[in-house]
Structure 1
Amino acid sequence: MGGGSTTPILMALLCLGLCWRPWDQVQAGVLPKPSIRADPGPIVPKGSPVTLWCQGSPQAEVYRLYKVGDSGLWEDEATQDSRNTARFHFESLSSRHAGRYQCIYRSRKGWSRQSDPLALVVTGLYRAPSLSAHPNPVVASGGNVSLSCSSQFWSGTLYLLKEGGAEPPRRSTWRKFGNSGRREALFPLGPVNASHGGTYRCYDSPSSDPYLWSQPSDPLHLQVTGMYRKPSLSAHPGTSVSWGENVTLQCLSEIVLDTFHLFKEGSLAPAQNLRLQDMVAPLQANFTLSPMTSAHNETYRCYTSQSTSPYVLSNPSDPLQLLISGGSEDGLMESGLQRGLPWYLSLLIGVSVAFVLLLLLLLFLLIRQRQRQRGQDTHRKSAAAPSVAKDRGQQKSSSPAADVQEEKLYAVVKHTWLKDGNPRDSQQEAESEGPQDVTYAQLNHVTLRQGTMAPPPSQAGEPPAEPSVYATLAIHQPTKDPEPRD
């Protein structure tokens, strides 16, 4: 009984669940989902304004803007004049505004579905990467080129963006570490055609904040050649020019193109550009080089283009090589450094030369200080030598054999006793007292230099005795009265 009563309820719930989804789709189809866009664009520098537009239905009454994954909510009442569009303006973007946004609207029939998400990117948060083209930013039509973006971050995403292009930014997470320790991503382009010409920039973003980008790199102008007939290039007064003279390179075009470009082969310097005002064929542009130095001793080509398409060039002219004669050797070396070495290598060489000069100066001062100390020591020794020689001369004998022997000094130390405070007569003491009262001490000849006595005559057949110096030292000691003798 109970089981039969529950069966209709289960069937009803099952039918409600199966029938709800199609009904929901029908209701949602009445109110189509809106679209969202950013003006001037979804990639905005930090501190700049941006406006997000949500376009819905003419029956819309209220629009809402959501930030995905955030509690941010903005609401706008639809106006009578433009019910199908709502405007959400941000005056100054910061890092907290970066992210994905969606919008919905409400009418009398209910709420619409959410729009597709819009990624709002804020740039200028980190240091700019560098962008370069390999092998060259001037590429022939049908050729291949790779744009290299180098960053200081060890991980993250690199983005390549073409200014004014409708295509979304290209991204790359491939990492390549060179000798400099920087990360590099290659964006290959090719086969190249006229649509690839333009200005490119690259950005960097850490993996933790994909909507916070770095400052943009310096612009790279990619130019595609081979779209028009080649011009001709000539030099006046000639291709062989003396040092310091002037020369004019004349580029001549037989078709009506108003812009001329002069390139120096193998140089990273930008081309010289001239735009003509008088559009009467044949057209020619004059590039004046003055004064001539060894820096101009290169090969040149010229191209033509239309000012409305500055990145689409003609075929290159035939090469023209300038030969510079004369000039100073210093000028040649200076210009050679300017042409052949990048600025950082020139700076490194200058710092190295300054370091070597400073090291040599310190070494010179050190050697001079040591020489000065040696001179002072020599002066002291020379000043002390006469007195030492004089003292030693008084102690040496006339015999040459005695010069090599060490002189010995003897001092006769006599014990002289003071009795009743009166010293005894030294002569009487010498006569009355025996030899046991005489003490001999061997002294250094440097400390005692007086009392020199001639040595006693030697016996026959014996070598002469060493000269001896005797110094009589009277040691006066206050003593008690001696004990009476028996």
Structure 2
Amino acid sequence: MWVCVLCQIPLCSPPARPSPASGSTMTIVSATFLCLGLCLGWETYLQTETLPKPTIWAEPSSVVAQGRPVSIWCQGAKEADSYYLHQEWVQQPWRNKFPQRPRDKVKFRIQLMTQDLAGRYHCRYQSQARWSVPSEPLDLVVTGMFDPPSLSALSGPLVTSGDSVTLRCGSWQEFAWFVLSNEGGNGHPKSPASQHQADGWSWALFTLGPMSPSHRWMYRCYGAFSGSPYVWSSSSNTLELLISGVSRKPSLSILPGPVVAPGDTVTLQCRSDAGYDRFILSKDGEQELPQQLVWKPQAGLSQTDFSLGPVSGSHGGRYRCYGGHSLSSEWSAPSDSLDILVAAQGLQWYWNVLIGVSVALVLLLFLLLLFLLLRHWHRSKGRTLDAAMKNPQPGEGLELDPQAAASAGPQDVTYAQLTHLGLRQEASAPPSSSSEQPPDEPSVYAALAVH
């Protein structure tokens, strides 16, 4: 059996051997055209059939730290002869591979992940002359190219079951967007665009929920610049969200007491009779939650001790504890809160309050005294003026107005002229007339003038 070397198609019968009369050239040309025609016909037939789309994935993850290895798998059909891996914006296949048995999948291994290898990939396979449909795209990301951002929960990492929580990813590098990664989850939510402050701080908010204790919620975030969507920063700190439920709350106590001197050690003891296997301690405003296994001093009772020390001002605050079972992601309801007061911090606070209250009291007394003095001064001035008007004394600065006295008539008249220099008074009795009756009682007139 002869085989066409152009497309590996077997011929049922070999071409006739050339005779000396006709020569060998015409025979070779005819065989070549025959083979070419068969290849074109075979290709036209094969183009009417396409192979199923393969599956592509990365192992251990499609998010790879710089310098770490990664493998890209492509799974097709058992009759596949070869597999091809394509990178977006690259004309030629990035790599091809011939499978060993079983022939339904191959592995493309990358020894060291670099920035140049980051991008979007797809694969396809070939069986004889047939090609498969390209696979879905795989985004291969390299991390560790920039400094990591920070990740925090706005209301704290403890979330009540059924509630929502908002996470904030931020950095002093002006990233165009941030990406949130959930360990064990599917996909990587990306912020539409980051927010920027004038001082260079950029951040993005991710709202999650409603939260349930069905599994552990552990998150990291990354930052990326525009124009390099597959080149990310180093990962942020890992933030674990703890879901609290409605199971029985534990009790929290402080030993030796809630007021602690700097440098001493304080113990917070969390205990319960609900059979919890572990406890966590939370402080208002803190993101980290210390977690410890329990010890059982007696049957049915579990407890653990959280030791803090040497104590400084940062240890002051409000604390709560939660209980949980090892086989569940749900935590109990919170214990009653307890406050730790660092002695130096407390004395300083009381001293500040005392100074403020003292200043307020002094100011209030001063205003009250000023009010009483003004009131007394006004009353004294009024009484002096009334007395001078009602009981004038001769020779004390009353000065008679001669013109007024001359025109006053036959009765005794007293005129008073008050100035800002003093009060003077004089009395004048006009000559009496035998024809006129004396007045019943004297009249007093006061003329006030300011010179």
- The one-letter code sitting in structure 1 at the alignment partner of 2:143 is T
Find out whether 1:261 has 2:280 as its counterpart. yes
Q: For residue 233 of structure 2, give the secondary structure of its aligned residue in structure 1.
A: coil
- Structure 1 position 327, deviation (Å): 8.9
Question: Is the 1:196–1:222 Cα contact (8 Å) retained in structure 2?
Answer: no
TM-score by length of 1: 0.57
Find out whether 1:128 has 2:128 as its counterpart. no
Of 117, 121, 126 in structure 2, the residue corresponding to residue 106 of structure 1 is 126
Q: For residue 231 of structure 2, give the secondary structure of its aligned residue in structure 1.
A: coil
Match of 1:314 in 2: 332
Choose between structure 1 and 2: higher helix proportion.
Answer: 1
Residues 116 and 328 of structure 1: CA distance in aligned 2, closer, same or farther (over 3 Å): closer
- The one-letter code sitting in structure 2 at the alignment partner of 1:276 is V
- Structure 1 position 140, deviation (Å): 1.7
Find out whether 1:75 has 2:77 as its counterpart. no
- Structure 1 position 79, deviation (Å): 1.1
Match of 1:27 in 2: 49
Match of 2:221 in 1: 202
Residues 129 and 324 of structure 1: CA distance in aligned 2, closer, same or farther (over 3 Å): closer
Question: Is the 1:34–1:115 Cα contact (8 Å) retained in structure 2?
Answer: yes
Residues 53 and 139 of structure 1: CA distance in aligned 2, closer, same or farther (over 3 Å): same
Whole-Å Cα distance in 1 between the matches of residues 283 and 311 of structure 2? Answer: 15
Question: Is the 2:177–2:204 Cα contact (8 Å) retained in structure 1?
Answer: no
Find out whether 1:174 has 2:193 as its counterpart. yes
Whole-Å Cα distance in 1 between the matches of residues 201 and 312 of structure 2? Answer: 37
Match of 2:254 in 1: 235
Whole-Å Cα distance in 1 between the matches of residues 212 and 261 of structure 2? Answer: 42
Question: Is the 1:233–1:302 Cα contact (8 Å) retained in structure 2?
Answer: yes
Residues 25 and 307 of structure 1: CA distance in aligned 2, closer, same or farther (over 3 Å): farther
Match of 1:92 in 2: 112
Match of 2:210 in 1: 191
- The one-letter code sitting in structure 2 at the alignment partner of 1:322 is I
Question: Is the 1:196–1:224 Cα contact (8 Å) retained in structure 2?
Answer: no
- Structure 1 position 107, deviation (Å): 1.6
Whole-Å Cα distance in 1 between the matches of residues 116 and 66 of structure 2? Answer: 11
Question: Is the 2:56–2:136 Cα contact (8 Å) retained in structure 1?
Answer: yes
- Structure 1 position 39, deviation (Å): 0.3
Whole-Å Cα distance in 2 between the matches of residues 236 and 56 of structure 1? Answer: 65
Question: Is the 2:177–2:194 Cα contact (8 Å) retained in structure 1?
Answer: no
Whole-Å Cα distance in 2 between the matches of residues 145 and 295 of structure 1? Answer: 26
Residues 242 and 120 of structure 1: CA distance in aligned 2, closer, same or farther (over 3 Å): closer
Is the deviation greater in 136-145 or in 273-282?
273-282
Whole-Å Cα distance in 2 between the matches of residues 322 and 51 of structure 1? Answer: 52
In structure 2, list runs of 5 or more residues that go unmatched: 1-44, 353-451
Match of 2:157 in 1: 137
Is the deviation greater in 220-229 or in 189-198?
189-198
What is the number of residues matched between the two proteins?
305
Identity %: 38
Residues 234 and 42 of structure 1: CA distance in aligned 2, closer, same or farther (over 3 Å): same
- The one-letter code sitting in structure 1 at the alignment partner of 2:330 is V
TM-score by length of 2: 0.61
Match of 1:146 in 2: 166
- Structure 1 position 324, deviation (Å): 4.9
1:425-464 Cα offsets, whole Å, 9 max, x none, are xxxxxxxxxxxxxxxxxxxxxxxxxxxxxxxxxxxxxxxx
- Structure 1 position 118, deviation (Å): 0.9
Match of 1:224 in 2: 243
1:166-212 Cα offsets, whole Å, 9 max, x none, are x2000113232224222221111133222575221111111211111
- The one-letter code sitting in structure 1 at the alignment partner of 2:242 is Q
Superposed, 1:284-323 pairs within 5 Å as: 284-292=303-311, 294-307=313-326, 312-323=330-341
Match of 1:38 in 2: 58
Whole-Å Cα distance in 2 between the matches of residues 185 and 170 of structure 1? Answer: 11
- The one-letter code sitting in structure 2 at the alignment partner of 1:256 is G
Whole-Å Cα distance in 1 between the matches of residues 98 and 124 of structure 2? Answer: 12
Q: For residue 97 of structure 1, give the secondary structure of its aligned residue in structure 2.
A: coil
Question: Is the 1:131–1:148 Cα contact (8 Å) retained in structure 2?
Answer: yes
- The one-letter code sitting in structure 2 at the alignment partner of 1:317 is S
Whole-Å Cα distance in 2 between the matches of residues 184 and 326 of structure 1? Answer: 37
Match of 1:406 in 2: none
1:196-242 Cα offsets, whole Å, 9 max, x none, are 75221111111211111111112222222125321111233444556
Give the alignment's Cα RMSD to 1 decimal: 3.0
- Structure 1 position 62, deviation (Å): 1.2
- Structure 1 position 48, deviation (Å): 0.5
Residues 246 and 107 of structure 1: CA distance in aligned 2, closer, same or farther (over 3 Å): closer
Of 301, 308, 314 in structure 2, the residue corresponding to residue 282 of structure 1 is 301
Residues 41 and 289 of structure 1: CA distance in aligned 2, closer, same or farther (over 3 Å): closer
Whole-Å Cα distance in 2 between the matches of residues 183 and 319 of structure 1? Answer: 35
- The one-letter code sitting in structure 2 at the alignment partner of 1:314 is S
Residues 294 and 98 of structure 1: CA distance in aligned 2, closer, same or farther (over 3 Å): closer
Residues 254 and 24 of structure 1: CA distance in aligned 2, closer, same or farther (over 3 Å): farther
- The one-letter code sitting in structure 2 at the alignment partner of 1:214 is S
1:35-65 Cα offsets, whole Å, 9 max, x none, are 1110001111111100111111111121111
Residues 134 and 229 of structure 1: CA distance in aligned 2, closer, same or farther (over 3 Å): same
- The one-letter code sitting in structure 2 at the alignment partner of 1:75 is N
